[in-house]
Amino acid sequence: MPIEYIALLIPFAGMAIGAFAIWTDHKQKMVKRQAEIAAAESSQGTLDRKQLEERVAVLERIITDQGYSVAQEIEKLRSEPGDSGVPLPEFKAERETAA
């Protein structure tokens, strides 16, 4: 290989090294940003899960409370006089024939 070719390759090698340095810096920044995004999504998921767990705990407390009886509440609503709501069309005929 003649010396002239080597003299031409030296500037290209310098540019290639500079481009490689810029590319690796960019890749490092991308990895850092992706890690930040994943952490933010993870923390949001944790908040959602905690809120759901709190809601389930409240519902469990309501259902397992000794003074609360779903069946009694339903019967109480059924025995109230008057029409307290609008019946669905398919049940309206049943209700009218029962009365």
- The rounded distance, in Å, linking the Cα atoms of 52 and 7 is 68
pLDDT tens per residue across span 49-76: 888 888 888 888 777 775 556 667 767 7
Q: Is residue 32 part of a domain?
A: yes
Domain that holds residue 36: 3-76
Within-domain flag for 97 = no
Under 8 Å between Cβ of 68 and 62:
yes
User: Is residue 33 situated within a structural domain?
Assistant: yes
Residue-level pLDDT at 59: 81
Distances in Å between the Cα of 54 and the Cα atoms of 5, 41, 60, 62, 98 are: 73, 20, 10, 12, 43
Domain presence at residue 90: no
pTM: 0.42
pLDDT tens column, 12-47: 898 999 999 999 999 999 999 999 998 888 877 777
Tell whether 7 is covered by a domain: yes
What pLDDT, on a 0 to 100 scale, did the predictor assign at position 33? 95
Instruction: Domain count for the chain, please give it.
Output: 1
If we measure between CA atoms, which residue out of 64, 99, 51, 18 comes closest to residue 43?
A: 51
Residue 33 CA to residue 37 CA, distance in Å, equals 6
In-domain check, residue 91: no
